[in-house]
Amino acid sequence: MVNLRPASQQLCRFLKSFGATNSSFFDRRNISRAAVSTMDGDKFSLPSNYSAEPSVWVEYIQLALEHKPLNLGQGFPDYAPPSYVTEALSKVTTGDNVLLNQYTRGFGHPPLVNALGKLYSKLLNRQINPQTEVLVTAGAYEALFSTIVGHTKPGDEIIIIEPFFDCYEAMVRAAHGVPRFIPLKPKKTSGTIMSSDWVLDPDELKGLFNAKTKAIILNTPHNPIGKVFNLEELKLIAELCSKWNVMCIADEVYEWLVYEPFKHIRIASLPGMWERTITIGSAGKTFSVTGWKTGWAYGPAHLMKNLQAVHQNCVYTCCTPVQEAVARGFELEMERFDSPECYFHSISKELVSKRDYMAKFLSDVGMVPTIPEGGYFMIADWTALENKVRLNEETDKLKDYRFTKWMSKNVKLQGIPPSAFYSDPHKPLGESYVRYCFFKKDENLQKAAEILQKWKSSS
């Protein structure tokens, strides 16, 4: 038997090697009482457009550190990324061109914006200007931030499709915007459920658009459902955006993670949509190097200039060697784009068997998974197992938080509670589910299957 080292233990060791302890990084008890007594009161309280609540990521990384479960929570692979990108990074930092270790152009390192411009010009069948229509950011996170903050005036309404990557709402509120939510709902709850079974009610969507609507945030392929929006769904969104003069913020970080026969359609490629769409991508997701935190946004210059204004006064310029290595990665992939070796095509082939393996082991223990058509997450309804979980041992209000915490501590398998991806009034819609990431070593997925089987058959 192979010596299995759960991903969470690797993460713990990794974080501890930098001095992280098992106590909360955000432990307010550590703040000196003397400091509090002279600086308390409203003057230094957090501005009301920010929330002091730790995000689900902060909370669940801490949970993993403390209880050392097999961690299928956060979205990253637990094995090595393609060697050509990591080798490129080490060559860049030690090579002859020492200036590659210094600041580069603020709106994006020239080789990277040129590579992105070339790639998306081909994919969108239009000439994209790398100087004015592409911006490199500190992860897709910063691309989202620069887009939302750069385009939201107080009172502007932003439509967010639920469940949603949790920072969307926080960023809209930070910009004094008003989030308007619409949930994807499953058409069925038993049998084989595909992510395409999760749909928007077209009338509900139409009813959200009005004169105050500034933007809609569209995430396809979707986290956490794995839905790949189809042409008909995208056409409706496009039609409403044109009718109400609304921009579309297209979060497409999983653009290369799509399982056959499904196809990712870039909404910016639909008639009339280039002019009103900012599309966001991530090197972390594209090359499986999430720790590199490099992303981008592209779109028409008249929309991009607002993002540049936010970026130049916040981040200004991103890590030069990482940008150079990512650019080299793109150059290689563009050369072999039409071959099956191209990572953009081979990655989904590699992941589909992991997806199917996870769907089977979750079903075998009585959970009801939604089979994703894209991305690397799977949600599953766990409520048939409720009688095996001592939910009353956990204090959280929401059941999926209680389920995932209890499982992490007692069964040693960690997932993410999907209610974190809903607005407050709609959180109950996520309570019956858990989200697992299947971009993990086969032996760790096998270990997860064994953990669940053993737990299921225990009395």
Q: Which residues bind ligand IK2 (CB under 6 A)?
A: 74-75, 139-141, 165, 219, 223, 251, 253, 282, 284, 290, 293, 295
Question: Closer to ligand IK2 at the Cβ: 14 or 302?
Answer: 14
Q: How far is the CB of 251 from ligand IK2 (least distance, A)?
A: 5
Q: How far is the CB of 148 from ligand IK2 (least distance, A)?
A: 12
363: number of Cβ within 10 Å:
14
Q: Which residue has the tokens 């299957």?
A: 449
Report how far residue 28's alpha carbon sits from residue 143's, in angstroms, rounded to the nearest whole number. 31
Question: Closer to ligand IK2 at the Cβ: 296 or 382?
Answer: 296
What tokens appear for 406 in the block? 């209890």
Question: Closer to ligand IK2 at the Cβ: 180 or 293?
Answer: 293
Question: Closer to ligand IK2 at the Cβ: 167 or 208?
Answer: 167
Q: Are 126 and 274 in contact (CB under 8 A)?
A: yes
Q: Are 114 and 290 in contact (CB under 8 A)?
A: no
Q: How far is the CB of 439 from ligand IK2 (least distance, A)?
A: 10
Order of strands, edge to edge, in the sheet holding 213-219? 134-137, 295-298, 277-282, 247-251, 213-219, 157-162, 178-183
Q: What is the separation of C-alpha 99 from the centre of its chain, rounded to a whole number of angstroms?
A: 32
Q: How many CA atoms lie within 13 A of 71 on its CB side?
A: 24
Q: How far is the CB of 6 from ligand IK2 (least distance, A)?
A: 17
Question: Closer to ligand IK2 at the Cβ: 143 or 246?
Answer: 143
Q: How far is the CB of 334 from ligand IK2 (least distance, A)?
A: 20
Report how far residue 303's alpha carbon sits from residue 247's, in angstroms, rounded to the nearest whole number. 9
Question: Closer to ligand IK2 at the Cβ: 191 or 405?
Answer: 405
Question: Closer to ligand IK2 at the Cβ: 399 or 435?
Answer: 435
Q: How far is the CB of 80 from ligand IK2 (least distance, A)?
A: 18
Report how far residue 57's alpha carbon sits from residue 26's, in angstroms, rounded to the nearest whole number. 13
Residues 312, 313, 318, CA angle at the centre, nearest 5°?
50
Question: Closer to ligand IK2 at the Cβ: 74 or 195?
Answer: 74
Specify the amino acid at residue 355.
R
Q: Name the residue number minimizing CB distance to ligand IK2.
A: 139
b/e per residue 318-352 (b: at least 16 CB within 10 A): bbbbbbbbbbbbbbbbeeeeeeeebbbbebbeebe
Q: How far is the CB of 165 from ligand IK2 (least distance, A)?
A: 4
Question: Closer to ligand IK2 at the Cβ: 295 or 340?
Answer: 295
Q: How far is the CB of 3 from ligand IK2 (least distance, A)?
A: 26
Backbone φ, ψ for residue 58 (5° rounding): -60, -45
Q: Which helix (H) or strand (E) holds 181?
A: strand 178-183
Q: How far is the CB of 163 from ligand IK2 (least distance, A)?
A: 10
Report how far residue 64's alpha carbon sits from residue 405's, in angstroms, rounded to the nearest whole number. 10
